[in-house]
A and B are shown apart, each in its own frame.
Chain A
Amino acid sequence: MTVYIIRRLLICIPILFGVTLLTFLIVNARGNPVADLALNPRYRAEDIERIRSSMGLDEPVLVRYGIWVSAVLRGDLGLSLSNNTPVRDRIFDVLPNTIVLTGVAFLAALLISIPLGVISAVMRNTWFDHIVTVGTVAAFAVPAFWLGLMLILLFASQFREWGLPSLPVSGMVDRRGGGDLLDRLSHLILPVTALAIADLAGWTRYIRSQMLEVVRQDYVQTARAKGLSDRIVLFGHAFRNALLPLVTLMGLSLPGLIGGSFIIETVFAWPGIGRLTVDAARASDYTLIMGAVFIASVLTLLANLLADIAYALLDPRIRYG
Chain B
Amino acid sequence: MTTSSTSAASPTTRVPTTSREQPRGSAFNRAHLRSTPGFYRRAWYQFRQNKIALAGLILSALMVAFVLAAGIIANITGHTYWEGDLADQFIAPFSPGYLLGSDGNGRDVLVRAAYGGRISLTVAGLASLLLLVIGTTVGAISGYFGGFVDSVLMRIVDVLLCIPGLPLLILVFSVFTPGPYMLAVFIALLGWAGGARLIRGEVLSLRKRDYVEAARVLGASDSRIIFRHIIPNVIPLLLVSLSLALPGLILVEATLSFLGFGVQIPIPSWGNMLENAREYFTRSWANVLIPGLFIYMTVLSISLVGNGLRDALDPRLSR
Which residues does A use to contact B, with CB under 8 Å?
14-15, 18-19, 22-23, 26-27, 29-30, 129-130, 133, 137-138, 140-143, 145-146, 149-150, 152-153, 156-158, 202-203, 205-206, 208-210, 212-213, 216-217, 248-249, 252, 255-256, 258-260, 262-263, 266, 274, 277-278, 280-282, 284, 286, 289-290, 292-293, 296-297, 300-301, 304
The reply to whether B303 and A141 form a contact with Cβ atoms under 8 Å apart is yes
Residues from chain A with a CB closer than 8 A to the CB of B4 are 137, 140, 202, 205-206
The reply to whether B3 and A249 form a contact with Cβ atoms under 8 Å apart is yes
A18-B158, A143-B251 known; A289 vs B170 contact (CB < 8 Å): yes
Say if the beta carbon of B24 comes within 8 Å of chain A: no
B285 touches which of A146, A157, A274 (Cβ 8 Å): A157
Total A-B contacts with CB atoms under 8 angstroms apart: 165
Residues from chain A with a CB closer than 8 A to the CB of B174 are 280-282, 284, 286, 289
Q: 8 Å CB contacts to A: which residues of B152-185?
A: 155-156, 158-168, 170-176
Q: Is the interface of B mostly helix, strand, loop or mixed?
A: helix
Residues from chain A with a CB closer than 8 A to the CB of B11 are 212-213, 216
In the A-B complex, the 9 residue pairs with the smallest Cβ-Cβ separation, listed nearest first, are: A18-B159, A146-B292, A281-B174, A259-B164, A141-B300, A259-B166, A202-B3, A141-B299, A133-B7
The reply to whether A18 and B156 form a contact with Cβ atoms under 8 Å apart is yes
Residues from chain B with a CB closer than 8 A to the CB of A141 are 247, 296, 299-300, 303
A143-B296, A202-B3, A281-B170 known; A255 vs B164 contact (CB < 8 Å): yes
Residues from chain B with a CB closer than 8 A to the CB of A248 are 1
The reply to whether A153 and B167 form a contact with Cβ atoms under 8 Å apart is no
A130 touches which of B7, B167, B254 (Cβ 8 Å): B7
A15 touches which of B155, B175, B251 (Cβ 8 Å): B155
A149-B292, A292-B167, A296-B164 known; A209 vs B159 contact (CB < 8 Å): no
A15-B155, A143-B251 known; A304 vs B162 contact (CB < 8 Å): yes
B238-269 Cβ-contact flags toward A at 8 Å (1 or 0): 00000000010001001100111100000000
Q: 8 Å CB contacts to A: which residues of B121-162?
A: 155-156, 158-162
The reply to whether A252 and B1 form a contact with Cβ atoms under 8 Å apart is yes
Say if the beta carbon of B31 comes within 8 Å of chain A: no
A29-B175, A143-B299, A249-B3 known; A256 vs B162 contact (CB < 8 Å): no
Name, among B3, B174, B251, B319, the residue most crowded by chain A CB atoms within 10 Å (CB to CB).
B3
Residue of B nearest to A213 (CB): B16
Residue of A nearest to B14 (CB): A213
- Per the bound structure, the CA–CA distance linking A202 and B259 in Å amounts to 25
B163 touches which of A133, A262, A281, A300 (Cβ 8 Å): A300
A202-B4, A293-B168, A300-B164 known; A282 vs B159 contact (CB < 8 Å): no
Residue of B nearest to A254 (CB): B164
A–B Cβ pairs within 8 angstroms, 8 of them: A15-B159, A133-B6, A145-B254, A205-B4, A206-B3, A210-B319, A255-B161, A281-B171
- Per the bound structure, the CA–CA distance linking A145 and B106 in Å amounts to 25
B300 touches which of A138, A158, A281, A304 (Cβ 8 Å): A138
The reply to whether A143 and B260 form a contact with Cβ atoms under 8 Å apart is no
Residues from chain B with a CB closer than 8 A to the CB of A29 are 175-176
B170 touches which of A146, A153, A278 (Cβ 8 Å): A278
A255-B162, A263-B166 known; A30 vs B175 contact (CB < 8 Å): yes
Q: 8 Å CB contacts to A: which residues of B167-206?
A: 167-168, 170-176
11 additional A-B pairs beyond A290-B171, A304-B162, beta carbons within 8 Å, are: A26-B172, A27-B175, A133-B6, A143-B254, A145-B274, A150-B292, A205-B4, A255-B161, A255-B164, A259-B166, A262-B166
- Per the bound structure, the CA–CA distance linking A145 and B296 in Å amounts to 11
- Per the bound structure, the CA–CA distance linking A274 and B167 in Å amounts to 8
Nearest-neighbour CB distance to chain A for B70, whole angstroms, equals 21
Residue of B nearest to A289 (CB): B171
Nearest-neighbour CB distance to chain A for B272, whole angstroms, equals 13
Q: 8 Å CB contacts to A: which residues of B3-18?
A: 3-7, 9, 11, 14, 16
Residue of B nearest to A133 (CB): B7
Say if the beta carbon of B48 comes within 8 Å of chain A: no
A153 touches which of B155, B258, B285, B319 (Cβ 8 Å): B285
A18-B155, A30-B175, A249-B3 known; A301 vs B162 contact (CB < 8 Å): yes
Nearest-neighbour CB distance to chain A for B13, whole angstroms, equals 12
Say if the beta carbon of B282 comes within 8 Å of chain A: yes
Nearest-neighbour CB distance to chain B for A70, whole angstroms, equals 19
The reply to whether A300 and B159 form a contact with Cβ atoms under 8 Å apart is no
- Per the bound structure, the CA–CA distance linking A129 and B7 in Å amounts to 9
The reply to whether B166 and A26 form a contact with Cβ atoms under 8 Å apart is no
Residues from chain A with a CB closer than 8 A to the CB of B163 are 19, 22-23, 293, 296-297, 300
Say if the beta carbon of B278 comes within 8 Å of chain A: yes
- Per the bound structure, the CA–CA distance linking A213 and B300 in Å amounts to 26
Say if the beta carbon of B235 comes within 8 Å of chain A: no
Say if the beta carbon of B289 comes within 8 Å of chain A: yes
A143 touches which of B168, B259, B292, B304 (Cβ 8 Å): B292
The reply to whether A260 and B285 form a contact with Cβ atoms under 8 Å apart is no
Say if the beta carbon of B295 comes within 8 Å of chain A: yes
Nearest-neighbour CB distance to chain A for B51, whole angstroms, equals 13
A157-B282, A248-B1 known; A278 vs B288 contact (CB < 8 Å): no
